[in-house]
A and B are shown apart, each in its own frame.
Chain A
Amino acid sequence: METGKPARSRDTLDRRHEGIESKVEGFNDRARRALEDEFLHESVARFTKKSVASRQAALERLPEAPELRETAYRIKQETMANLDRYLEQLAGAVEERGGKVFFASDGEEVVNYVGELARRRGSKVVTKSKSMATEEIELNRRLEESYGELGLEIIETDLGEWIAQLAGDHPSHIVAPIVHMNRHQIADVLSGVAGEALPPNVEDLLQFARKRLREKFLAADIGITGVNFGVAETGTICTVTNEGNGRLVSSVPPVHVAVMGIEKVIPKLEDLSVFTRILGRSSTGQDLSVYTNLVTGPRQEGELDGPEEFHLILMDNGRSDLLGTEFEEALYCIRCGACLNVCPVYRQTGGHAYGSTYSGPIGAVITPLLKGNEEAKDLPHASSLCGACTEACPVGIPLHELLLKLRNRQVDEGLAGKGQSVAFKGFENTMKSPALYKISGKVGRMAQKPLVKDGKIGRKLPGPLAGWTGTRDLPALAKKPFRELWREGI
């Protein structure tokens, strides 16, 4: 079996075809690229390690964390059971304060709403604060494509998002979008904008970014923000940031558009204190994020600031399909990023390996649910099911169980592939019959003979065991199984 080629290149070639079959470039391909990128690997490990430590310290300062988790879960559960009602209540409250509300069933409708609004207002400059919902529907790209004639300049104002946007890149972490970039890469990107070489020094880069972004904040015609929580009772929109850009986006331009996934509604203002207490702690280890911004409609008479127009877009985009299903809990997510930080898979690969807006365990759960299997068939398998995500989730989403259920759904839909299906039928038949099990053991012991040396299989095998034996030795079956030793007497 040995050939003259160097082991390494043969390894790389063969492994391209292992793992899960997928028509599109799969998790394995992208993960492999990430693993080869030493910087990325180290930087993700460093960042996640720091986040995990600060989260733990923050939770230690909050003895009621376990109860808060249960309360948060219950609030979400109750909200989802009555989602229609709460959304109507929220919309009513926003309208009462003079805001406009639009229900968008998908990304297309969001794009068109914002595009037409910009046309009506004759807008040129649009500032945005961080919003996963608009990332999910690729709002920027689609606005530029569908409304090219308006010549809109759309600027992300979260520092990380802005740099990603300038670099033509996507965020790789819900909370820290450019955890995958180093300061030299960042300096290169910003130098391109500055038209001169900026030193790769954090303070200088920050100063430059601050100055540039200030100009944009002031020039903006429309500000688009995401929404962390929408309070049904009062019509209050809560956005949480650490840079303060959310405020400048929502209050300086004459028009503020808030794009909110429908699952972000919470019933009462007092519920907000439950979520703000866990969000900062779980995400960055802060007792409270630096800016917790509450917006209740456009500028009212007698008020000194705030936008002339306020629009709330309630975006469904596949979410309502999950209501009442075994996957509903996936909608409880508050996008804190804790499950990414503790995930040993994310830690190795970073976010881009997931090939979707949402990465890590929650990304592996919601991407196939929102986008379908075609784009994300292998994501539910990108987990060792170690359960660290479930343990960390501040709202108690059983992430690893949802991954299991997604795997099961693929099997039920006939997507598991023939090889696997045959193998597990065989497994079932063997394991339900002690006699067959015994015979299989015997057959295995005979079959392995030519492969075993020193009690193990020490080289790469073709076929289904290639994935294992490519990088690890495999122990041989013992000469006598335990059951024989038991019979003989221990």
Chain B
Amino acid sequence: MFIPCYVDLVYPEVGVSVVRVLRRLGVEVTYPEGQTCCGQPAFNSGFFEEARTVARHFLDVFESEECDYVVCPSGSCATMASHYYPLVFEGLAGERARSEALGARVREFSDFLVNVLGVRELGARHAGKAVFHCGCHQRRELGVLEEPRELLRDVEGLDLLEWRNEELCCGFGGTFSVKMPDVSTAMADEKIRALEESGADTLISGDSSCLMHLEGRLQRTGPATRVYHLAQILDTEDGEVV
């Protein structure tokens, strides 16, 4: 299991839910403690060399772990390790090949549940009217768009709503949110308007980074909305998020 750095530091409860859901499904979960970050912040800012060092560390840590899959509760970080490492290691044949081999085993959480384990129903129960925000990497690079929805549709009591322009980016974009704060915020505002129009009281995503952005803006200006990672909803007990 790969728990991205910001989930580790800011949203540990998401990691806990991932472990609990996987165990409930009979998966043996290991957590290599040497793991840190996938290197995406540096990569996205153009610091490829720095990203390379971090990616190398990632390869070392997960190659030496005995596991069939590396499951990650973030479409974005899963994309980094499975799709962008070859670009990070461009021109370095050995590491590129290593990254491709490992990348093939890296799976985003809902992708793993639906496409590897074949799960449809988890017996989760949670009352609410929700919209799902699919992170852009998960949507366009991984193509894992329907899987989280399928899982959410089976959650008892949860009303999964459609929302306008759901394919639009939330405006996070890593350092973009800090370098271009006005445009980034305007992008979040457009999502929030769509959320309000949909009548949802809950916002769910497979990427805590998008949620951090949208929740941060919601707290300043938006309507009261409950914000959860997909894993937390699938891990509900007696209808409550743990």
Contacts and interface: CB of A to CB of B under 8 A. Distances in A.
Contacts of B184: 384
B181 A470 contact: yes
Nearest to A457: B216
A413 to B, nearest CB: 10
Interface string B148-169: 0000000000000000010111
B217 A381 contact: no
The SS class assigned to the B binding surface is helix
Contacts of B173: 383-386
A386 B45 contact: no
Best-buried of A35, A347, A467 by chain B (most CB within 10 Å): A467
A387 B182 contact: no
A428 B50 contact: yes
Contacts of B225: none
Contacts of A433: 36
Given A424-B50, A468-B216, A472-B217, A344 B182 contact: no
Interface in B169-196: 169, 171-188, 190
Interface stretch (A158-166, A252-260, A482-490): A482-490
Interface stretch (A13-21, A57-65, A218-226): A13-21
A409 B37 CA distance: 23
Interface stretch (B1-9, B108-116, B125-133): B1-9
Interface string B113-149: 0000000000000000000000011001100000000
Nearest to B187: A344
Contacts of A384: 136, 169, 171-174, 176-177, 184, 187
A425 B10 contact: no
Contacts of A407: 44-46
A480 B220 contact: no
Nearest to A415: B46
B54 interface: yes
A490 B217 contact: no
B15 interface: yes
A441 B5 CA distance: 10
A47 interface: no
A20 B12 CA distance: 32
A425 B54 CA distance: 11
Contacts of A410: 46
Contact-size category for B:
35 or more
Contacts of A345: 180, 183, 187
B219 interface: yes
Contacts of A268: none
Interface in A323-351: 344-345, 347-349
A422 to B, nearest CB: 11
A122 interface: no
A486 B17 CA distance: 12
B28 interface: no
A482 B172 contact: no
Nearest to B171: A384
Contacts of B213: 472
Interface string B185-213: 11110100000000000000000000011
B16 interface: yes
A202 interface: no
B8 to A, nearest CB: 4
A424 B42 contact: yes
Nearest to B173: A384
Interface stretch (A25-33, A74-82, A275-283, A304-312): A25-33
A468 B36 contact: no
Contacts of A478: 9-13
Interface string B1-42: 001010111111101100110000000000101111101011
26 contacts: A19-B178, A28-B180, A35-B182, A344-B171, A348-B186, A384-B173, A384-B187, A388-B169, A416-B47, A424-B45, A427-B54, A434-B34, A441-B9, A456-B216, A468-B181, A471-B220, A473-B216, A474-B216, A475-B215, A477-B10, A478-B10, A478-B12, A478-B13, A482-B16, A485-B16, A486-B33
Given A19-B178, A431-B39, A431-B57, 13 more contacts: A32-B182, A49-B165, A344-B168, A348-B183, A348-B186, A386-B169, A388-B168, A411-B49, A421-B47, A424-B45, A473-B217, A474-B216, A481-B9
* Minimum-distance CB pairs A-B, first 3: A384-B173, A407-B46, A472-B216
